[in-house]
Structure 1
């Protein structure tokens, strides 16, 4: 089962500024991911939250790159569902590479909430909806905040 062995992270992100960047494709899944991220940030006492919507998962990178220098953490949320063309592979690879590069290059944590699923059911199972088995939006937000707090403590 995906998620098996995941840590239970509780962190105090009081005073942090966090941006959520969310794709618009697959509205039900995305609404669940955004709600989960917002809950995760509220659980971490993060009050300064900006939500930015972009057309699709491919556009997550450019928006996160623009926001990263002005925020303590960025949470990237999207979903790509495999179809019958190589489009899935290209978008997943490009988005993942961009988000990783932004985090390392800027030193700003990027919470990775990009679902890369074979089916819509897999995406719904991870979207943090009432019938979902996982809440990847919450996990991505919590990981971003926990990393930002850790980085603030490094010299």
Structure 2
């Protein structure tokens, strides 16, 4: 796993920014870490307390995100994990969720932090989950990106 060239999130003042965290229900330990990381990012950046919206799985993240956008959230953090198995199911879920989240963020002009882990093994997911022994905190990174983009869009006078 390479962190070469990755930006270091820096705290910004996002007072009043409304953030929804849309999170899959699969893989409790990984999801608990991702959600906690996203919540830490919201707190570090002084957003309004984020609202947690749970969806059944990663394929359902786009519809959960769309519902949050319809409710007027300024930014959404989409969190999930898909671990490769023995069938092509992994490819369909990852592609479907990724493509629809990308379409949704462009169509609605609403930032969506991409925190969908697409891993070959559970160990890879745990290494990215923001847990005490993890090497990365993808929940924190996804929320930080969504918050920063929402503020950038707001600064140029576009919707957010």
The TM-score bracket by the shorter chain reads: over 0.9
Report if aligned partners of 2:43, 2:49 keep a CA contact under 8 Å in 1: no
Match of 1:122 among 101, 124, 148: 124
Structure 1 stretches of 4+ with a deviation exceeding 6 A read: none
**Cα separation, 1, equivalents of 2:65 and 2:153:** 18
Determine the structure 2 residue equivalent to 1:14. Answer: 15
Mapping for residues 4-153 of structure 1, pairs under 5 Å: 4-10=4-10, 11-69=12-70, 70-153=72-155
Ranges in structure 1 where 5+ consecutive residues have no aligned partner: none
Number of equivalences: 155
RMSD: 0.9
SS in 1 for 2:36: helix
**Cα separation, 2, equivalents of 1:112 and 1:4:** 19
TM-score w.r.t. length of structure 1: 0.97
TM-score w.r.t. length of structure 2: 0.94
Report if aligned partners of 2:129, 2:137 keep a CA contact under 8 Å in 1: yes
Q: Summarize deviations over 1:88-115 as a string: whole Å, max 9, x none.
A: 0000000001110110000000000000
Determine the structure 1 residue equivalent to 2:3. Answer: 3
SS in 2 for 1:48: coil
